[in-house]
Amino acid sequence: MEEDRRNPLVLDLRDLRVVSVLGRGAKGVAFLVRYGSETLALKAICRKSIEKKQSQSQSQSQSEPEREPQTQQEDAYRRVWFERDVLDTFHHPLLPKLRGTLVTDKIVGFALQLCSGGDLNSLRKKQTEKMFSDDITRFYAAELVLALEYLHGLGIVYRDLKPENVLVQDNGHIMLVDFDLSARISTKSTPNSSQKFPSGRQLSVGKASSRKKRRIPSFLSCISAEISITPAESDSGGSCSTGPSKAESSWEKSNSFVGTEEYIAPEMIIGKGHDLAVDWWSLGVVLYEMLYGRTPFRGSNRKETFYRILTKTADLVGEPTPLRDLIGRLLEKDPEQRISVEGIKKHEFFRGVDWEDILNISRPPFVPMGKEVETEEVIPGIDMEEFVESVFGGGGGGGDEREKVKKMTEVDPSDKKDKHEFVWVNALSNSRKKDEFLIF
């Protein structure tokens, strides 16, 4: 797979044509845009929403000394600029490359490569039983391991791994997206430490301030003291190693509480600090969902979900298999005993996988059927800035406009029968060629 090493452009809103709305996330709206002859995905973040959130955060911190307005503004955009900088750092075929930035008085935008295949969640739901086979799971799991290994090598903990953040590129390989919850963590201070980070702005998380050291949800404070995270027993006779490697155990811990609740690791809920191991827990949840069509700890509400994550063992129904064993090792509640990247790559589930050649596979399990995303018909009269503010800033347009925005941004891609269509590789015109993703 070839990497895109073009330098990011400084975009002008007047040069962009909005083709469609791809969807919305927690902090922004994703647009399909035309820039000259190029078709790109543009993530637009509402500046008013960022500043409002920062203002609310400061009002809740009565003990914090008053700061200059300029410093407050820098804090408000710190995570936004961090995402920009890490996107510009990446040189990996399974991670996005920043193609351009857009900054106006109302929005901040990042232009990225368009992935026409939708996300893994939509793809899974298209399956007859809404779950993947072990062979297909192995392919996507292997690529996720490579993407996370690359991030961790940069000192970046992802912290938001879920199927919705795993897109399928035009060639069928995955792309990990959305890095607004990611963080760079520092290595532990040692006399001989010589860890070097990649060039670019470095925003180390390290130890949080004293007022953030116990970010335990109030409803969990009463039970967290009673819960002790201990290693789970394993029935596997495998020889793969567990626990963090020397490289992984040399990182400082972050105390931030971020992520999507069904995929959050127990150490993050407890609030005693977390490191790269949280991403391997989330991978375990994703693999469980691929196998069973649901997440392992989902409760009727946030409180119950967190309680289950802290106290319950994942129900791995079915006969023992290498995949079930790997999931169990990833969902180890004690991060010190959780399987590391070295153990994952040596696990029985990946027996025969050529880790050096995965990215060269030309026939992944699914490939988009050509250009399924409409790229020609431009939405008439749409104003990107007003659209984003209607969604996140509470401004722009009346009730009818906001209702239109809601409908356009909340459509489930899996319901679009004429979009993001996939075919099995053996249904392609050149199906006589062996399915390479099965050759491990």
CA distances from 38 to 17, 65, 228, 347 (A): 11, 48, 53, 42
Interior angle at CA 255, CA 249 and CA 257, nearest 5: 120
Q: pLDDT at position 382, please?
A: 82
Q: pLDDT at position 417, please?
A: 38
User: Judging by beta carbons within 10 Å of its beta carbon (0-12, 13-18, 19+), is residue 249 exposed, middle or buried?
Assistant: middle
Asked if 435 and 136 touch (Cβ cutoff 8 Å), the reply is no
Nearest to residue 256, comparing CAs of 160, 369, 174?
160
Q: pLDDT at position 212, please?
A: 39
Task: Tell me the C-alpha distance between 166 and 349, whole Å.
Answer: 21
Interior angle at CA 167, CA 9 and CA 91, nearest 5: 45
Q: Give, to the nearest 10 degrees, the angle between helix 47-59 and helix 69-89.
A: 130
Task: Tell me the C-alpha distance between 303 and 40, whole Å.
Answer: 39
Could you read off the pLDDT tens digit of each residue along the chain, which spans 440 residues? 555 566 789 999 999 999 999 888 777 899 999 999 999 999 999 998 888 877 766 666 555 445 444 444 556 688 899 999 999 999 999 999 999 999 999 999 999 999 999 999 999 999 989 999 999 999 999 999 999 999 999 999 999 999 999 999 999 999 999 998 999 987 654 334 333 333 333 333 333 333 333 344 544 544 444 454 544 444 444 455 556 655 555 545 555 656 689 999 999 999 888 899 999 999 999 999 999 999 999 999 999 999 999 999 999 999 999 999 999 999 999 999 999 999 999 999 999 999 999 999 989 999 998 654 555 556 666 899 999 999 886 654 445 555 555 555 554 444 443 333 333 333 333 333 445 555 44
Residues designated as active site: 160
In this structure, what DSSP letter does residue 187 have?
B
Q: pLDDT at position 4, please?
A: 59
Nearest to residue 305, comparing CAs of 260, 262, 347, 369?
262
This model's pTM is above 0.85:
no
